[in-house]
A and B are shown apart, each in its own frame.
Chain A
Amino acid sequence: MNSADVVVQNLSRKFGETQALSDVSLEVQHGELFGLVGPDGAGKSTLFRILTTLIVPDAGSATVLGLDVVRDLWKIRSIIGYMPGRFSLYGDLTVRENLSFFASVFGTTIEKGYDLIAPIYKQIEEFSERRAQDLSGGMKQKLALSCALVHRPQILFLDEPTTGVDAVSRREFWDQLGKLKASGLTILVSTPYMDEAMRCDRVALMQNGQILHIDRPGDVGRHYPLPLARVIGAKRYQMLLALRDAPHAHSVYPFGAELHFTDDRAGYAPDKVSAELREFLLGHGFDDATVEPIQAGIEDNFMELMATQARAS
């Protein structure tokens, strides 16, 4: 008997011609902050809607807190908190009216749930008489989270809560999630932002309806199959084009202020890769270029796994 809070086994689901989910399996332990990371169309929302009992899978099974998502939907619905994408709120109701409505839908009141939502709600409490449609993106986000928490759920499903919100609000939101997790709440979050994955206990990388990899964010890099080097220099675009023609270039991508070069010789010494690249760049007139080996991050991994998936199909 699996004691994990969420157990997903070989879940598949098709919509018309599109295979939205394809043989997906994962587990979320109690008290974990688990991230589903992937771009639009990866299947994150579909997985969430199956787990929150809104959709039925074509194949496979899933349980939430030991309850089956197909058979026990009413039991599940009273104990989970759900925040669907694009913060679905009633724009023409005020902040307070939204919150009290969602509280009453679950048979509770704002007072009963107040201590749980207080750290978040306090930040928007001064706007409690403002209509939800007049709030900024960050505030809508906080309101939507409060509405999902007010009935003290045992597990929280947040579908892309940080989409369309600026970098600062995103950070604050994840700070809040950290605090919630510390209070013992199990949380499943989906996001397209790779950097947010670092703040989860574990992440599942998803693309095209499949799970590419599941691991702790810090350990994801260990699975990178090829040597990786970082290149920094002034003429980035020209360097990028030049490096694509370098010998043994598996892939070259811009990463912010730097370029990441992946060598196609598995197991080759990273220092040698860097040295060879330095020579190559000097030879092409990029004298200010610096090259050094680095550990792969989540985004490097994601892109490599994506490419592998594309080659396999």
Chain B
Amino acid sequence: MITTLRAFMVKELRHILRDRQTLTILLLMPLVQVVLFGYALRSDVRDIRLVVVDPSPDYATQELKARFTAGRRFKIVAVAPSFSIVQPLFRQGKADVAVTFDPDFAEHLESNEPARILLAVDASDPNTGTTMQTYAAAVIAEYESELKQRKGRPVMIVPEMRMRFNPSLESVNLFVPGLIALVLTLVSALMTAISLSREKERGTLEILLVSPLRPWQIIVGKVLPYLGLAFANVLTALLAAWLVFHVPFRGSVVLLLAESILYSMVSLAIGVLVAARTTSQRVAMLISLMATLLPSSLLSGMIFPIASMPRLLQVISNVVPARWFIIIARGIMLKGIGVTYLWRETLVLAVMTMFFMAVAVRSFKPRVA
């Protein structure tokens, strides 16, 4: 009995060690994940972009401003006398926190009255939102006690908190845009890769090639149904989010659907590319998982803020299509913004689509070898 078991285990070990392709992926994938999670992906937040609204600058507002930048967690992106600057900056995604001083801030402090600060945080990502709020509140509290020490008497700084775009910090609001991205990636990239390589394995691809069909026709014919499927999935996800979880939808549904199709096309193109280069369904599945699902979930800013990643990963994140799509989806759903603000991200996706499509069609040769 033991000999039988041993013989079998030895055989399985040999199979595993000799399948170089699968082995590489199986060893590489966990390693990459460990490195990413252990080293690179943090939930603490850095480089928080701060807007300071200071209608009547005085020594107190200047000192508090300095305290914010001293800790190096915050960097000031704008200083303005009126509040009107804040909303557009938030909507464009150019600021994370806005500190608005009451007029005559220092005067209030001197006369022992509560000096108010309005603290507004972009909470479309509720995890980072809470963290940023905590940091900001801490800076303010520290300054308050510092002032108390200096003046030898009590002072009162009263921060008023506002969480923009997601006042109740619903995490489901965070998830839904990311979820849409994941679902689209899964259906488009993974299924396309599997479907194409299955055709190869079955042998039917040969017959298709020996026909008037051009490679691009075969690809389009294979890929369009999955596009339709992805589309249906987006609609279902949105309906579920809206009806069941009451996720807000402040922007244009049509725009979101259009951007979803664009994002699907990038994923489809990547799926085709993977299938064109691989020999079996199993390998196609593993590689497309590694190449699409992994970066889409970890490096797109869906869960872990990009600003907190090491420089290298931030750069890599730029070529992850999901990163751009999530900005777009969050913008449309939670901030209600349109193409005027999102045209840059849309352009990036469009360029990626064309690039991957071109490469995919070229690698799908009309010959077998």
Contact = CB atoms under 8 A, between A and B. Distances in A.
Given A86-B203, A89-B204, A102-B207, A107 B212 contact: yes
Nearest to B218: A105
Contacts of B211: 77-78, 105-106
Counting chain A CB atoms within 10 Å of each CB, the highest count among B208, B210, B213, B368 belongs to: B210
A20 to B, nearest CB: 11
Contacts of B206: 49, 54, 82, 84, 88
Interface in A64-103: 73-74, 77-78, 80, 82, 84-86, 88-91, 102
B251 interface: no
A52 interface: yes
A121 B367 CA distance: 30
Residue among B202, B203, B208, B212 facing the most chain A CB atoms (10 A cut-off)? B212
Nearest to B221: A105
B212 A88 contact: no
Contacts of B368: 49, 54-55
A52 B205 CA distance: 13
A35 B213 CA distance: 28
A105 B367 contact: no
Contacts of B55: none
B367 A88 contact: no
Contacts of B207: 82, 84, 88, 102, 147
B367 A106 contact: no
Contacts of A90: 202, 204
A78 B204 contact: no
Interface string B207-234: 1111111000000000000000000000
B204 A88 contact: yes
Interface in A97-117: 102, 105-107
The prevalent SS among residues of A at the interface is loop
Contacts of B212: 74, 77-78, 105-107
Contacts, number: 53
B209 to A, nearest CB: 6
Nearest to B212: A78
B202 A54 contact: no
B366 interface: yes
Interface string B193-207: 000000000111011
Given A77-B211, A107-B212, A55 B367 contact: yes
A64 to B, nearest CB: 11
B367 A53 contact: yes
Interface string B77-105: 00000000000000000000000000000
Contacts of A56: 367, 369
B202 A53 contact: no
Contacts of A80: 210
A77 B210 contact: yes
A247 to B, nearest CB: 49
Contact of B210 (A82, A89, A107): A82
Nearest to B209: A54
A107 B367 CA distance: 21
Contact of B203 (A15, A74, A78, A84): A84
A82 B212 CA distance: 13
A70 to B, nearest CB: 10
A54 B367 contact: yes
Contacts of A102: 207
Interface string B338-369: 00000000000000000000000000001111
A52 B369 contact: no
A90 B206 CA distance: 12
A55 B203 contact: no
Among A54, A102, A107, max chain B CB count under 10 A is at A54
A35 to B, nearest CB: 21
B219 to A, nearest CB: 14
A88 B203 CA distance: 5
Nearest to B369: A55
A55 B368 CA distance: 6
- Going nearest first, the 9 A-B pairs with the smallest beta carbon separation are A88-B203, A78-B212, A88-B204, A82-B210, A54-B368, A52-B210, A105-B211, A84-B206, A55-B369
11 contacts: A54-B369, A55-B368, A56-B369, A73-B366, A74-B212, A77-B212, A82-B210, A88-B204, A90-B204, A105-B213, A106-B212
Interface of B: 202-204, 206-213, 366-369
Interface of A: 15, 49, 52-56, 73-74, 77-78, 80, 82, 84-86, 88-91, 102, 105-107, 147
